[in-house]
Structure 1
Amino acid sequence: MPVLCVTLFAACASKAPAPTETRQPGRPAVMSGDAVPVVARPGYYIVKKGDTLYSISHLNERDYREVAAWNGIVDPSVIKVGQELRVTPPGDMAPSGDAAVVSGAVAVAPAVVIDSTPSGVSSSPAPLTPIASGAVPSAAPVGQKTEPKGGRVAYSAQAWKDLQAVEKLPSAATSVPVTASVSTPVAQSQPAAQSKPAESKPVAAASEDEPDWVWPGTGKVLATFNDSSNKGVDLAGNIGDPVIAAGPGKVVYVGSGLRGYGNLVIIKHNNNFLSAYAHNSEILVKEGQAVQKGQKIAALGNSDTDRPKLHFEIRRQGKPVDPVKYLPPR
């Protein structure tokens, strides 16, 4: 009887499925069995409860439109818990060595072709030859060598004489008439201008004006903007002091999911500007609500900080900027 019980117990235990994970970029990371925390890959972020595209972009200092484009998101208000989002730009493959990428194919850099005949070297380089990715360049035609001078040639008096004759020949660069280089100065400067990489950052519409800002609080400035350690300004105050909207807009985030910000409110003013109000003791608005400049949106507090204060940020196209340069003089 004990042996039968042990056998039945083992059979039942073997039927319980082990937790598994499936993850795809831009799709939910689904866990079967018990919930297990999922760690995002480098350059990615996994959506948690309470996150919005605006808060994720704010945390990673990105424009929400960039994050939406990288993940194929049409409606910024629609993301799912467990979804893995790219928060860094897709990497670009850079050419290495003498090879350059041309429309998906590798082009071998031109080489000077040395003829085996005593005539020496050709006056123009070999043409740029596209080669499919992964293919091996074909050998040089019979009777020609692409090796450096003094390569695999058996020593003889005639070979030495031919080598000396080749060295005395003018180079291709010096054989070009001077008038050719003088008559086309514009054409020579064009490749350098064309090689400048295109900006990956979305360009803001010219019609998006800067909001008419006001200070969000009346307290003195405790800490100023520093791009490496403080992404905004800190204003002194007492718990319960009013926190007002620095400009008209729409509330796009309310919550405490961003570490270091406490109870946070983010307002979208237009496609260029967002403002953030952190460490509140009470929040008086909700997501999706339209607010006016000077409207009370929260009460000052000390959530996730060591003292009562208001931390205020302005972000232009996702990047932190110095609020003092935008706010009116006090």
Structure 2
Amino acid sequence: MLETTKMIKRVACASLVALVAACGSAPVGPGFYRVERGDTLSKIARSQRQSVQSIARWNNLTNPDSIEIGQVLRVAPPNGAASTSGAQRTGNASAASTPRSAPGESAAASAPSSISLVWPTSGNVIRSFDGGNSKGIDISAPSGTPVVAAAAGTVVYAGNGLRGYGNLLILKHNAEYLTAYAHNRALFVKEGESVAQGQKIAEVGDTDTNRDMLHFELRYQGRSIDPSRALPAR
């Protein structure tokens, strides 16, 4: 029994990155593709008979090397727009010449309207989402400040097996949404447990960081989106 438990924990830790990145495995519609482990944008472009530039432009990708496991990409021209698969490529060509959103938002930019969150803790936001270096928001609060579930869901990870996150909780809310709560001092829920919106699940701490704070992420279909868009004004 002990060996089985250890094996489960090892598997959980090994798959955590994919879990954070992949919010469910719902099938995607025609003209879209869900990124899998080992994929590159070049590989996807070849398999879909499109150019890297076209796929980057359709998805507002400022960095074609930054795709994530579980991310859903448009791989067919939107609204019949022409593909540039046969276009001449020049050295100064940009994969996304006019990005309209942050790298982590793209097609998911309007998604937060379909989920209603409460603030996971009190305190001031000291770092905002940018979709690149910051895939969530950092909220400064004294050690021991309660951390609550931003929405009802199920605990799919509780532990400290992912470097840089400290004591981490991940909640799955449905097939599309995940929230993550990092750097906690203490965790009060276990994997597999159902939680209600507003229920205390942890306490603010400084595990794997240099100050007391909560790092909070929201993922839609495996892609980081700005959680402040789904949080009430305060």
State TM-score, norm by structure 1.
Answer: 0.44
Q: Is the 8 A contact 1:57 1:64 kept in 2?
A: no
Cα-to-partner distance string for 1:48-85 (whole Å, 9 max, x where unaligned): 454275x23245x334427xxxxxxxxxxxxxxxxxxx
Cα 1:248–1:290 shift into 2, 3 Å: same
Cα 1:88–1:312 shift into 2, 3 Å: same
State the structure with bigger RCO (CA 8 A, min sep 6), 1 or 2.
Answer: 2
Cα 1:63–1:213 shift into 2, 3 Å: closer
Give me the whole-angstrom Cα distance separating, in 2, the residues matched to 1:223 and 1:274. Answer: 20
Write out aligned runs for 1:86-105 (5 A): 87-89=37-39, 91-92=43-44, 93=46
The amino acid that maps onto 1:255 is: G
Superposition CA RMSD, Å = 3.2
Cα-to-partner distance string for 1:177-236 (whole Å, 9 max, x where unaligned): xxxxxxxxxxxxxxx949869xxxxxx9xxxx8332100011111111111111111111
The amino acid that maps onto 1:275 is: T
The amino acid that maps onto 1:286 is: K
Match of 1:316 in 2: 220
Cα 1:300–1:193 shift into 2, 3 Å: same
Whether 1:51 aligns to 2:13 is yes
Q: Is the 8 A contact 2:117 2:232 kept in 1?
A: yes
Give the secondary-structure state (helix, strand or coil) at the position aligned to 1:280.
Answer: strand
Runs of at least 5 residues in structure 1 that lack an aligned partner in the other structure: 1-46, 67-85, 97-191, 198-203
Write out aligned runs for 1:209-224 (5 A): 210-224=114-128
Give the secondary-structure state (helix, strand or coil) at the position aligned to 2:157.
Answer: strand
Give me the whole-angstrom Cα distance separating, in 2, the residues matched to 1:288 and 1:217. Answer: 22
Match of 1:267 in 2: 171
Give me the whole-angstrom Cα distance separating, in 2, the residues matched to 1:255 and 1:269. Answer: 19
User: Identity across aligned pairs (percent)?
Assistant: 41
Whether 1:327 aligns to 2:231 is yes
Write out aligned runs for 1:232-247 (5 A): 232-247=136-151
Cα 1:89–1:240 shift into 2, 3 Å: same
Write out aligned runs for 1:179-328 (5 A): 193=80, 210-328=114-232
Give me the whole-angstrom Cα distance separating, in 1, the residues matched to 2:153 and 2:133. Answer: 27
Cα-to-partner distance string for 1:248-297 (whole Å, 9 max, x where unaligned): 01111111111111110000011111100000010000011000000000
Give the secondary-structure state (helix, strand or coil) at the position aligned to 1:281.
Answer: strand
Give me the whole-angstrom Cα distance separating, in 1, the residues matched to 2:115 and 2:82. Answer: 37
Match of 1:19 in 2: none
The amino acid that maps onto 1:313 is: E
Q: How many residues align?
A: 161
Give me the whole-angstrom Cα distance separating, in 2, the residues matched to 1:63 and 1:52. Answer: 16
Give me the whole-angstrom Cα distance separating, in 2, the residues matched to 1:268 and 1:52. Answer: 18
Q: Is the 8 A contact 2:142 2:204 kept in 1?
A: yes
Runs of at least 5 residues in structure 2 that lack an aligned partner in the other structure: 1-8, 27-35, 51-78, 85-107
Give the secondary-structure state (helix, strand or coil) at the position aligned to 1:65.
Answer: coil
Give me the whole-angstrom Cα distance separating, in 2, the residues matched to 1:275 and 1:63. Answer: 10
